[in-house]
Protein backbone atom coordinates (compact mmCIF):
# COMPACT_ATOMS: atom_id res chain seq x y z
CA UNK A 1 0.00 0.00 0.00
CA UNK A 2 1.39 3.45 -0.88
CA UNK A 3 1.96 5.71 2.09
CA UNK A 4 0.95 9.34 2.22
CA UNK A 5 3.70 11.84 1.82
CA UNK A 6 4.73 13.26 5.12
CA UNK A 7 3.09 16.48 6.23
CA UNK A 8 6.23 17.44 8.10
CA UNK A 9 8.50 19.52 5.94
CA UNK A 10 11.68 21.04 7.28
CA UNK A 11 11.85 24.80 7.01
CA UNK A 12 14.42 26.18 4.55
CA UNK A 13 17.87 26.23 6.07
CA UNK A 14 16.94 23.95 8.95
CA UNK A 15 18.54 20.58 9.61
CA UNK A 16 15.88 17.98 8.95
CA UNK A 17 15.10 15.22 11.44
CA UNK A 18 13.46 11.99 10.32
CA UNK A 19 9.72 11.66 10.75
CA UNK A 20 7.35 8.90 9.68
CA UNK A 21 4.96 9.90 6.92
CA UNK A 22 1.32 10.04 8.00
CA UNK A 23 0.59 6.69 6.40
CA UNK A 24 3.39 5.03 8.34
CA UNK A 25 2.11 6.05 11.79
CA UNK A 26 0.86 2.99 13.69
CA UNK A 27 -1.69 2.93 16.50
CA UNK A 28 0.31 0.45 18.60
CA UNK A 29 3.38 2.73 18.46
CA UNK A 30 1.32 5.80 19.38
CA UNK A 31 -0.28 4.01 22.35
CA UNK A 32 3.11 2.70 23.48
CA UNK A 33 4.55 6.22 23.32
CA UNK A 34 1.63 7.66 25.31
CA UNK A 35 1.86 4.91 27.96
CA UNK A 36 4.87 6.62 29.51
CA UNK A 37 4.00 9.34 32.05
CA UNK A 38 6.84 11.67 31.01
CA UNK A 39 5.89 11.39 27.34
CA UNK A 40 2.22 11.92 28.22
CA UNK A 41 3.23 15.09 30.03
CA UNK A 42 5.12 16.34 26.97
CA UNK A 43 2.09 15.67 24.78
CA UNK A 44 -0.23 17.46 27.19
CA UNK A 45 2.03 20.53 27.31
CA UNK A 46 2.36 20.62 23.52
CA UNK A 47 -1.41 20.19 23.10
CA UNK A 48 -2.06 23.08 25.49
CA UNK A 49 0.54 25.26 23.73
CA UNK A 50 -1.17 24.80 20.34
CA UNK A 51 2.13 25.62 18.68
CA UNK A 52 5.79 24.74 18.74
CA UNK A 53 7.79 24.71 21.95
CA UNK A 54 11.48 24.46 22.60
CA UNK A 55 12.40 21.29 24.55
CA UNK A 56 13.66 23.44 27.43
CA UNK A 57 10.23 25.09 27.77
CA UNK A 58 8.64 21.76 28.74
CA UNK A 59 9.37 21.30 32.45
CA UNK A 60 10.07 17.65 33.20
CA UNK A 61 11.32 15.89 36.32
CA UNK A 62 14.04 14.00 34.45
CA UNK A 63 17.56 14.63 33.15
CA UNK A 64 18.23 16.41 29.86
CA UNK A 65 19.36 13.21 28.14
CA UNK A 66 16.22 11.39 29.29
CA UNK A 67 14.15 14.30 27.96
CA UNK A 68 15.91 14.04 24.62
CA UNK A 69 15.16 10.31 24.51
CA UNK A 70 11.43 10.81 25.21
CA UNK A 71 11.11 13.55 22.57
CA UNK A 72 12.85 11.27 20.06
CA UNK A 73 10.46 8.37 20.82
CA UNK A 74 7.50 10.72 20.29
CA UNK A 75 8.95 11.93 16.97
CA UNK A 76 9.82 8.48 15.67
CA UNK A 77 6.31 7.14 16.24
CA UNK A 78 4.70 10.19 14.63
CA UNK A 79 3.17 11.89 17.67
CA UNK A 80 5.30 15.04 17.44
CA UNK A 81 7.33 16.90 14.87
CA UNK A 82 10.77 18.21 15.75
CA UNK A 83 12.60 20.78 13.69
CA UNK A 84 15.66 22.87 14.24
CA UNK A 85 15.19 26.64 14.12
CA UNK A 86 18.77 27.82 14.31
CA UNK A 87 20.15 26.00 17.35
CA UNK A 88 16.75 25.47 19.00
CA UNK A 89 14.95 22.16 18.51
CA UNK A 90 11.26 23.06 18.30
CA UNK A 91 8.50 20.53 19.01
CA UNK A 92 4.88 20.40 18.00
CA UNK A 93 2.09 17.85 18.26
CA UNK A 94 1.14 16.29 14.88
CA UNK A 95 -2.54 16.87 15.57
CA UNK A 96 -3.63 17.08 11.95
CA UNK A 97 -2.00 13.74 11.13
CA UNK A 98 -3.20 12.00 14.30
CA UNK A 99 -6.75 13.36 14.01
CA UNK A 100 -6.91 12.31 10.36
CA UNK A 101 -5.73 8.77 11.12
CA UNK A 102 -7.44 8.25 14.48
CA UNK A 103 -10.31 10.75 14.87
CA UNK A 104 -10.99 11.50 18.52
CA UNK A 105 -8.14 9.38 19.88
CA UNK A 106 -5.82 12.17 21.02
CA UNK A 107 -8.74 14.16 22.44
CA UNK A 108 -9.88 11.08 24.35
CA UNK A 109 -6.39 10.39 25.69
CA UNK A 110 -5.82 14.01 26.70
CA UNK A 111 -9.19 14.12 28.46
CA UNK A 112 -8.45 10.82 30.24
CA UNK A 113 -5.10 12.18 31.41
CA UNK A 114 -6.73 15.39 32.63
CA UNK A 115 -9.38 13.47 34.58
CA UNK A 116 -6.75 11.19 36.13
CA UNK A 117 -4.66 14.18 37.18
CA UNK A 118 -7.80 15.67 38.71
CA UNK A 119 -8.36 12.48 40.70
CA UNK A 120 -4.79 11.70 41.73
CA UNK A 121 -2.82 14.91 41.31
CA UNK A 122 0.26 15.27 39.16
CA UNK A 123 2.13 12.08 40.06
CA UNK B 1 -6.96 8.79 48.61
CA UNK B 2 -9.60 6.11 49.14
CA UNK B 3 -10.12 3.84 46.18
CA UNK B 4 -13.50 2.73 44.92
CA UNK B 5 -14.51 -0.77 45.80
CA UNK B 6 -14.03 -3.08 42.88
CA UNK B 7 -16.99 -3.62 40.63
CA UNK B 8 -15.75 -7.10 39.82
CA UNK B 9 -17.25 -9.64 42.18
CA UNK B 10 -16.60 -13.32 41.77
CA UNK B 11 -19.73 -15.42 41.34
CA UNK B 12 -20.58 -17.75 44.25
CA UNK B 13 -18.56 -20.92 44.11
CA UNK B 14 -16.09 -19.59 41.58
CA UNK B 15 -12.36 -19.24 42.21
CA UNK B 16 -11.66 -15.54 42.40
CA UNK B 17 -8.85 -13.95 40.40
CA UNK B 18 -7.32 -10.66 41.50
CA UNK B 19 -8.53 -7.48 39.84
CA UNK B 20 -7.68 -3.85 40.52
CA UNK B 21 -10.55 -1.84 41.98
CA UNK B 22 -11.87 0.85 39.65
CA UNK B 23 -10.00 3.55 41.55
CA UNK B 24 -6.70 1.72 41.12
CA UNK B 25 -6.86 1.52 37.33
CA UNK B 26 -4.21 3.78 35.77
CA UNK B 27 -4.26 5.33 32.30
CA UNK B 28 -0.58 4.55 31.63
CA UNK B 29 -1.17 0.85 32.38
CA UNK B 30 -4.27 0.75 30.17
CA UNK B 31 -2.43 2.40 27.25
CA UNK B 32 0.53 0.06 27.70
CA UNK B 33 -1.80 -2.94 27.66
CA UNK B 34 -3.54 -1.71 24.50
CA UNK B 35 -0.23 -0.99 22.74
CA UNK B 36 0.23 -4.72 22.06
CA UNK B 37 -1.49 -5.93 18.87
CA UNK B 38 -2.53 -9.29 20.36
CA UNK B 39 -4.06 -7.62 23.42
CA UNK B 40 -5.77 -5.05 21.20
CA UNK B 41 -7.29 -7.92 19.25
CA UNK B 42 -8.59 -9.51 22.46
CA UNK B 43 -10.15 -6.20 23.51
CA UNK B 44 -11.79 -5.73 20.11
CA UNK B 45 -13.27 -9.23 20.17
CA UNK B 46 -14.57 -8.77 23.73
CA UNK B 47 -16.02 -5.35 22.84
CA UNK B 48 -17.83 -6.83 19.85
CA UNK B 49 -19.12 -9.75 21.94
CA UNK B 50 -20.71 -7.40 24.50
CA UNK B 51 -20.53 -10.19 27.04
CA UNK B 52 -18.18 -12.78 28.46
CA UNK B 53 -16.14 -15.08 26.26
CA UNK B 54 -14.07 -18.12 27.05
CA UNK B 55 -10.37 -17.60 26.25
CA UNK B 56 -10.54 -20.37 23.64
CA UNK B 57 -13.28 -18.47 21.76
CA UNK B 58 -10.89 -15.62 20.98
CA UNK B 59 -8.85 -16.73 17.97
CA UNK B 60 -5.28 -15.55 18.30
CA UNK B 61 -2.15 -16.28 16.27
CA UNK B 62 -0.08 -17.17 19.34
CA UNK B 63 0.47 -20.14 21.66
CA UNK B 64 -1.88 -20.94 24.54
CA UNK B 65 0.64 -19.83 27.17
CA UNK B 66 1.18 -16.52 25.35
CA UNK B 67 -2.60 -16.06 25.24
CA UNK B 68 -2.81 -16.70 28.97
CA UNK B 69 -0.12 -14.10 29.54
CA UNK B 70 -1.90 -11.44 27.46
CA UNK B 71 -5.25 -12.08 29.19
CA UNK B 72 -3.52 -11.78 32.56
CA UNK B 73 -1.89 -8.44 31.61
CA UNK B 74 -5.31 -7.13 30.56
CA UNK B 75 -6.87 -8.28 33.85
CA UNK B 76 -4.11 -6.91 36.05
CA UNK B 77 -4.33 -3.42 34.54
CA UNK B 78 -8.13 -3.37 34.80
CA UNK B 79 -9.11 -3.64 31.14
CA UNK B 80 -10.86 -7.00 31.46
CA UNK B 81 -12.43 -9.12 34.15
CA UNK B 82 -11.68 -12.84 34.31
CA UNK B 83 -13.74 -15.27 36.32
CA UNK B 84 -13.94 -19.04 36.48
CA UNK B 85 -17.29 -20.58 35.67
CA UNK B 86 -16.63 -24.18 36.54
CA UNK B 87 -13.45 -25.00 34.62
CA UNK B 88 -13.89 -22.26 32.02
CA UNK B 89 -12.13 -18.93 32.48
CA UNK B 90 -14.54 -16.31 31.18
CA UNK B 91 -13.43 -12.87 30.06
CA UNK B 92 -15.26 -9.60 29.70
CA UNK B 93 -14.30 -6.00 28.99
CA UNK B 94 -14.64 -3.72 32.05
CA UNK B 95 -16.47 -1.11 29.97
CA UNK B 96 -18.42 0.43 32.85
CA UNK B 97 -15.25 1.00 34.86
CA UNK B 98 -13.21 2.25 31.90
CA UNK B 99 -15.98 4.52 30.61
CA UNK B 100 -16.49 5.97 34.09
CA UNK B 101 -12.78 6.69 34.55
CA UNK B 102 -11.89 7.68 30.99
CA UNK B 103 -15.06 8.66 29.08
CA UNK B 104 -14.65 8.08 25.36
CA UNK B 105 -11.19 6.56 25.58
CA UNK B 106 -12.06 2.95 24.80
CA UNK B 107 -14.48 4.00 22.05
CA UNK B 108 -11.73 6.17 20.56
CA UNK B 109 -9.17 3.38 20.72
CA UNK B 110 -11.55 0.80 19.24
CA UNK B 111 -12.46 3.16 16.40
CA UNK B 112 -8.78 3.91 15.74
CA UNK B 113 -8.03 0.18 15.61
CA UNK B 114 -10.93 -0.41 13.24
CA UNK B 115 -9.81 2.39 10.93
CA UNK B 116 -6.24 1.11 10.93
CA UNK B 117 -7.41 -2.41 10.10
CA UNK B 118 -9.46 -0.90 7.26
CA UNK B 119 -6.35 0.82 5.91
CA UNK B 120 -3.80 -1.93 6.42
CA UNK B 121 -5.74 -5.15 6.84
CA UNK B 122 -5.44 -7.46 9.84
CA UNK B 123 -1.68 -7.46 10.36
- Residue B74 CA to residue B19 CA, distance in Å, equals 10
Do the Cβ atoms of A40 and B32 come within 8 Å? no
B109 touches chain A (CB under 8 A): yes
CB-based contacts of A5: which residues, under 8 Å, 6+ apart? A21, A22
Rounded distance between C-alpha atoms, residue B83 and residue B68, angstroms:
13
Q: Chain A residue closest to B105 (CA)?
A: A108
Is residue A11 in some structural domain?
yes
| CA-wise closest residue to A92 among A8, A6, A2, A5 | A8
The model's confidence at residue B60, banded by pLDDT at 50, 70 and 90, is: confident
Beta pairing partners, B81: B92
Q: Is residue A115 part of a domain?
A: no
With cut-offs at 50, 70 and 90, classify the pLDDT of residue B12: low
* Site from B20, B30, B105, B120 to mutate, A interface, most A CB atoms within 10 angstroms: B105
Residue A73 lies in a domain: yes
Is the residue at B38 inside a domain? yes
The pLDDT of B112-117, averaged and rounded, is 96
Q: Would you state the pLDDT for residue B9? A: 52
On whether residue A21 sits in a domain, the answer given is yes
Instruction: Give ipTM to 2 decimals.
Output: 0.85
Q: How high is the pLDDT of residue B62?
A: 86
Please give the backbone phi and psi of residue A46, each rounded to the nearest 5 degrees, phi first.
Answer: -65, -40
Q: Is the pLDDT of residue A3 over 70?
A: no
Sequence-ordered list of residues with C-beta below 8 angstroms from that of B4, at least 6 positions apart, any chain:
B21, B22, B23
Average pLDDT over residues B98-110: 96
Q: Give a yes or no: residue B116 inside a domain.
A: no
**pLDDT recorded at residue A13:** 52
Q: Is the pLDDT confidence value at A7 over 80?
A: no
In a domain, B46, yes or no: yes
| Average pLDDT value for residue range A12-26 | 85
Range of the domain at B73: 6-106
Q: Sort strands B80-85 and A80-85 into parallel, antiparallel or unpaired.
A: unpaired
- What is the DSSP-derived secondary structure letter of residue A22? G
Structurally, how many domains does chain B consist of?
Answer: 1
Across chain A, mean pLDDT equals: 88
CATH number of the domain to which B78 belongs: 1.10.10.10
The verdict on residue A34 lying in a domain is yes
Amino acid sequence: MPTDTTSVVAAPGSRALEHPARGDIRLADVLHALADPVRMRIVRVLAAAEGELNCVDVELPVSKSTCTHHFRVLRECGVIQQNYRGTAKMNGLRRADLDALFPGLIDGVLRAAELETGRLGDA
